[in-house]
Amino acid sequence: MQKGIIGKKIGMTQIFDAKGNVVPVTVVEAGPCVVVQKKTVENDGYAAVQLGYGDLRPSQVNKPMKGHFDKSDVAPKRTLREFRLADCDAVNVGDVIKADTFAVGDHVDVVGTSKGKGYAGAIKRWNFARLKESHGTGPVARHAGSLGACSSPSRVFKGMKGAGHLGAERVTVQNLEVIKIDVENNLIAIKGAIPGPRKGIVVISDTVKKA
């Protein structure tokens, strides 16, 4: 990983490219982010930088986190994320990372939390097939059906598909193209859809190509 940033999903829109084609994009308020901490191989066993995004009032921070921010002489931040950059020595504590860390044409990976959809049945959650609705089925056409434990092993294995909580989970979308960057307003337009509800926190990093 060469570069990364924390941002907030603003929403989707569409823009026109040089040929006049409509391109659907997701607009992200990327940064500004502050380097809060540097981790080194000697002290922590690995090299990484910790970025902070979103301001907090000092009264909203507990004492351990207040000490963490005071040690770096950085104002309290709402969101902290670590990035294992290829060259962590290039940045220092207190440096500000803005949207211009990326360029038009870059390919990025976006990590976010998908939209929560509450408690869902097995058909919506796992694409189960429903039962026939003809005579004799009863009011169970959208039920999951028997779990089939029988007498052996006489229990339900962990991970069995069924009704339950849907969404609100970590999702990564890879290899998305950066279409436009507004440095003045710290906005990045990324082609396609990215995970997360509106105003959800997302992490953007350059796509790591496998050898």
Q: What is the per-residue pLDDT for 188?
A: 93
Q: What is the per-residue pLDDT for 210?
A: 52
Range of the domain at 140: 117-166
Whether residues 44 and 129 fall in one domain = no
Please give the single-letter amino acid code of residue 209: K
Q: What is the per-residue pLDDT for 191?
A: 92
Query: Which residue's entry shows tokens 């504590």?
Result: 93
Separation CA 65–CA 76 (nearest Å):
8
Does residue 177 sit within a domain?
yes
Q: What is the per-residue pLDDT for 208?
A: 66
Whether residues 56 and 137 fall in one domain = no
Question: What CATH number should be reported for the domain holding residue 99?
Answer: 2.40.30.10
Whether residues 109 and 180 fall in one domain = yes
Does residue 211 sit within a domain?
no
Kindly write down the DSSP assignment for every residue of 141-160, as one continuous string: TTS------TTTT-SPPTT-
Whether residues 122 and 108 fall in one domain = no
> Per the structure block, which two tokens stand in for 43?
């002290």
Beta strand 4-16 with 201-206 is antiparallel
Helix (H, G, I), strand (E, B) or coil at 66: helix
* Closest C-alpha among 31, 36, 4 to residue 110: 4
Separation CA 25–CA 110 (nearest Å):
13
Q: Residues of the chain whose pLDDT is less than 50?
A: 211
- Domain total for the chain? 2
The structure's pTM equals 0.81
